[in-house]
Amino acid sequence: MSGSSNLVAMKKIVQQLRFEAKINRVKVSQAAADLQQFCLQNAQQDPLLTGVSSSTNPFRPQKVCSFL
Positions touching other proteins (CB under 8 A) are 3, 6-7, 10-11, 13-23, 25-36, 38-43, 45-49, 51-52, 56-61
**19 or 67, CB closer to other proteins?**
19
Q: What are phi and psi of 60, to 5 degrees?
A: -80, 150
Q: To the nearest whole angstrom, how small is the minimum distance from the Cβ of residue 5 to other proteins?
A: 11
The set of residues, in sequence order, having a beta carbon less than 8 Å from that of 54 and lying 6+ positions away, is 60, 61, 62, 63
- Compute the least distance from the CB of residue 65 to other proteins, in Å: 16
Closest approach of Cβ 63 to other proteins, in Å? 15
Integer Cα distance of 68 and 11 in angstroms: 77
